[in-house]
Structure formats: C-alpha cells, structure tokens
C-alpha cells in the first residue's frame, strides 16, 4: 500500500493539498499486528500517531494487576480512523492501551518527531492537521462523558 494514497482517504488529512499530503506521508510507515497484540500501553511514552488501514483496534483501560479484557474496552477504532493522538499532545503519554481486535491489523503510524519537525518547517500543514486533530480529541471526550454518565453512583 502506498501511504500517501491511503492517507488522502482519512478525514483528518482530506484538507491537505497533494503537495502537503506528500510532505506528511513521509512521516508515516506501515506496521502489522496479529489478534491480541498490544500496540502500546497506558502510561507509555507516546511517540507515534496512528491510523487504522485494515482491521480494528480496541482502546482499553487496563486494570492494575489483571490481564487485559475486552470488558475494559472504551472505544474501537476501525478502518480510516485515527488514534494515539497523545503522541502529539504533551505530556506525550498514552492514556489507554491499544490491542489488535481482529485476526490481523494493518496500521500506518507517524513519528511524533518527524511530524513536529514538518509542522515547524511548514506551519500551514501543522495548522490544518492540528485543527482536524482537535475534532478527534473532542469526539473522544464526548465518548468518555457519555460513558461516565452511564456509570452507577455508589
């Protein structure tokens, strides 16, 4: 798969021109996982921004001292959806753990260092990207708010 051709179909990148997309695509690389694989863990240093190419990713709140379980899944990301935005937002720590939820998973992930260097070099690309990223963050907060409103108060 050519990363640039894939990224142009992802909502967060649709506002970029072809030249801008070419520049940002160089920061992304493909990676594959198998069912149950852990992509990253809650509290780990967040060094990448992720997009699902094929398959699904479960974002979970792992309970200390317990094995992971689908029961702690907060959100599931599927094709063309982004996750791991903590890689671009201080303090650069993942807030949830990510697991491959399908037989196989293909993602493209962008290096924080490479992306931030590009954004310093080309502020317009950074502005467009971060403007769309804030929408993703807002959606995540709305999801979390909806989940907490369903929790019983003891």
Nearest CA to 78 among 99, 104, 54, 59?
54
Q: What is the pTM of this model?
A: 0.87
Top pLDDT among 47 and 70 is at 47
3-state secondary structure of 138: helix
Q: How confident is the model at residue 21 (pLDDT cuts 50, 70, 90)?
A: very high
Per-residue model confidence (pLDDT) at position 67? 81
- The answer to whether residues 51 and 107 touch, using CB atoms and an 8 Å cutoff, is yes
- The answer to whether residues 83 and 137 touch, using CB atoms and an 8 Å cutoff, is no
Name the domain count of the chain: 1
3-state secondary structure of 29: strand
76-93 confidence digits (pLDDT tens): 999 999 999 999 999 999
Q: Do β-strands 28-34 and 57-60 pair in parallel, antiparallel, or remain unpaired?
A: unpaired
Tell me the residue range of the domain where 33 lies.
3-150
CATH number at residue 37: 2.60.120.10
């Amino acid at each position: 798969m050519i990363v640039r051709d894939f990224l142009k179909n992802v909502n967060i990148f649709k506002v970029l021109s072809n030249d801008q997309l070419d520049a940002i695509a160089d920061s992304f690389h493909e990676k594959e996982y198998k069912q149950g694989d852990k992509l990253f863990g809650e509290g780990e240093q967040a060094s990448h921004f992720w997009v699902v190419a094929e398959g699904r990713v479960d974002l979970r709140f792992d309970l200390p001292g317990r094995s992971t379980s689908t029961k702690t899944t907060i959100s599931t990301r599927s094709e063309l959806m982004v996750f791991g935005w903590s890689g671009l937002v201080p303090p650069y720590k993942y807030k949830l753990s990510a697991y491959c939820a399908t037989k196989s998973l293909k993602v493209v992930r962008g290096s924080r260092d490479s992306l931030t260097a590009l954004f310093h070099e080309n502020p317009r690309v950074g502005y467009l990207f971060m403007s769309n990223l804030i929408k993703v963050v807002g959606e995540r907060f709305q999801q979390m708010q909806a989940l907490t409103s369903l929790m019983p108060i003891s």
